[in-house]
Structure formats: structure tokens, C-alpha cells
Amino acid sequence: MNNSARQVVITGMGIISPLGIGVDEFWDNIVAGNSGIKPIATPTNIASPQHVGGEVTEFTEKNARKMWLKQQRKSVKVMCRDIQMGVASAMIALEHSGVDLEQVNPQRFGVDFGANLMLSPPDVLSGACEICVDGDDSSREFHYHLWGSGGENSDGQSGMSGMEPLWLLRYLPNMPACHIGIAADARGPNNSITLADASGNLVIAEARRVIERDWADIMISGTTGTRLHTVKAIQAVLWDKLADGPGSPEQWCRPFDKNRRGLVVSEGSCSFILEEQQAANARGATVYATILGSAATCVIDKQGNGQLRPALKQAMQAALRDANLKPADIGHINAHAQGMPIEDAEEAKSILDVFGDTNPQIPVTAFKSYFGTSGSGTGPLELAGSILGLQHGIVPKTLNYEEPDPECPVNVVHGDHLKIENKIFMKLSVTRAGQAAVLIVQVP
């Protein structure tokens, strides 16, 4: 195991997901094998196939103000949906942990949070852009000199004057960590990471190191993200292969299955409270998991393409070294798998590269089959799924895995949840650019 004198444990979880809000609703839906993928209610202009995704229908700005962001009501106006979900999940995690903020030294209380790049919906910018446009429908032209100060149209307006005054604050990816730090009065280390799907494992690993180095005693760490966004959904259509049937939407996401057809876009957020173990024990905290090891790699070829297989292989090997463990010590793998034809196969082969000699039948599960992928927001939700599963002595099954694929030679948990005694697992995350991050976690 890691030899640090300051061991780091998870003492609280805050979940906002297509399977529900809070630990209990999330777990009840996992154990029941329910999917959160369905036709999207709002917004109505998402480019995903048949308007399907993993939507958190219970999370609205009105509900957020009343239930999870009561102390931040005045600040909600400068939070886009990603930020709102991130801050709310942190507040839920704090409550779940039982941390008494009156007893916490704010100088040794920090935040490490991840997010996607945040984009404005077109309607937010359309009014300002219209100020800079003239001509009829057949000859409309945008005049750049009318955008900034010093350039004005015939009505005396510039494009910049048409922007909402607090526009920038609503869409900065470092704002979740800022708002969380203010809300919790966490004045210690504060950092933001924007690295797509790898963000979750990276922020948790970094928060762990902060505590191990004795720079803080408590850290709030998690991610938020949505791809159910007018612009981001278009990017997903252009950049990724999106699933489009057959069958009902909850059957579309099929990680590792021979008939997988692509990913399903979604949204969500998950936060954890990380504490130094002795301090957590002293206050009588419930310990949900211990972080044993972590690692990150980036492998890109000469053409600039991400190399998923070697990146994941190297990250897994480095995480095992960090935890002072062997492949045979790991009870199951919580995979990144999104249901992508090529990427799932690369990930499966990387697992075999590391575990094939000593643990070739290691169980593998893939939680995106329950709630799709939101980019940064997904990894910690998957991590929470394995932690809660091992609390109940099981590895939750992968949904929609029906026909094995020779290109994915791994032991996928399917059909029924798998009873298991080994409570050490490995969480994998990787980006299309070949940036991999791995955590090794143990549940008591």
C-alpha cells in the first residue's frame, strides 16, 4: 500500500445524475438496473439522435435555489447549468459527510474541481451579434468594427453593449471551484482542471496529494459537466460516434458489446469530501473509501493522435506502483467504456496488457451504460457507483451487454450484479487525445 503517513479517505459524496440526486436515489436505481437515458425534456434544441440523452430532470434552477443552493441564491444568476450542478453537488457532499464547518480551520480546507469548457448557448449572444449586422435577408453582413467600444451602429450601440453584464462569470470553467470555496469558506489550496473525461480522476488524485503533503486536512473534489447543450451536442455529433438505436433509448449505450454503436450524451456532477484519515476517525466520520494509488499519462503519436491503449496501460501500471499493489490484488475494474466501436476495443486490450498474465478474468463494469457521458462530469459518478456497490458486496452489472466481442477480450459483469469479497478496484478514464488517469480505491 501507499506508505504516506497521511492516508486519504472519502467521507462524503454528493451526486447529481440522470439516475437521481443524492446517494440513496442513485444507488436504488443502479441496484434495480434502471437507466437514466431517455428522450430529453429540456432544452428542446439538442442535436443528439432522436433527442435522446442522460438528463437530470429533477435539477432545475428553481429547485436548486430552494433545495441545494439556498445560501448561494444571489450567486445563481452568475452560474450556468454546469456551475450550478457542481456547486450543488459539493453542498450535498458536505452535508453527507457530516463535516461541521464551525470546527474546520478554513486555511487547511481546500477545493480541487474539474469541469468541461463552458460555452454560451447561441441565444445568449444573438442579440449582441444582431447589433453588428445590417442588410436584408439576402445580404446580411457582420461588421467587426461595431463590436467593441468606439464602434457604434446607427442607433448608437456597439455589440459589446448588448452582452449581458455578467456573461463571462457564467461560463468560466474555474468558477465551480471559486463558488464552492466561497460557500464552504475553504481558504486553502484551490485548483481547477479542464481535461474532459480525465478530469475526475485527476482532481481527486491532486486533492489526495495536497492532503498527503500536509497542505490541507480536508478537500472538496469532484467534477461537473454537460453535453446536453446546444453547441456541445453539435460538437459531439461532429467529433464522436453517437448511438442511435436500435431499441428503446435505455438500450442504446452498450459498452464492450459486439453491437455497440456509439456513446450517449448526458450531464451530471459528483463531489467527494476527502479527509486525512486520523482526523476523520477523530471526528467519528463514516469512511466510504480510501485512495490507495493514482497516476496519469499522455500518449500522442507523431501525427498528434491520442493513443488510448498505451496511455491506459502506462497509467494502470504506474497506479499499481504508487499503491504498491500487483494486478492480482485488484478486485474489479471500473472502465471508461462509452460504447464506442474502436475506443472500447483499445481499452479492453489495454486491460489485458496489464492483467492478462496474472488476473485475466478480472471483472470489468461500465457505468456509462446507466447514464451516458457528460465529459468531465462522468468519472466521479462512476467512481461513486463502485464505492456504493462494494459497500453492498457487489460489482454492479453493465447494462445492455448481450453479445461478447472478440475485439473486447474482457470479463464484463452483466446479467446480474456480481457478488465479490475483494474491495479494491481500479477506475479508468481517458480522453480522445490520449490523456489517461487512473485511481485505485479500497472500500472498508
Residue 444: closest CA among 383, 393, 395: 393
Q: Distance between CA atoms of 323 and 99, rounded to whole angstroms?
A: 27
* Regions of the chain short of the pLDDT cut 50: 1-3
Q: 368-396 burial, b if ≥16 CB within 10 A, otherwise e?
A: bbbbbbbbbbbbbbbbbbbbbbbeeebbb
Which residues, in sequence order, are CB contacts of 417 under 8 Å at separation 6+? 31, 389, 394, 395, 396, 397
Assign 327 to helix, strand or coil: helix
Residues 288 and 105 sit within 8 Å (Cβ to Cβ): no
**Structural domain boundaries of the chain?**
8-119+171-442, 124-166
What is the fold of 8-119+171-442? Peroxisomal Thiolase; Chain A, domain 1 (3.40.47)
User: What pLDDT is stored for residue 165 in this prediction?
Assistant: 82
* Phi, psi for residue 423 in degrees, rounded to 5: -110, 25
Is-cis flag, bond preceding 43, omega within 30? yes
Residue 312: closest CA among 339, 344, 341, 290: 344
Which residues, in sequence order, are CB contacts of 138 under 8 Å at separation 6+? none
Which residues, in sequence order, are CB contacts of 238 under 8 Å at separation 6+? none
User: What pLDDT is stored for residue 424 in this prediction?
Assistant: 98
pTM of the predicted protein model: 0.94
Q: Distance between CA atoms of 399 and 36, rounded to whole angstroms?
A: 11
Which residues, in sequence order, are CB contacts of 354 under 8 Å at separation 6+? 313, 316, 317, 320, 327
User: What pLDDT is stored for residue 1 in this prediction?
Assistant: 45
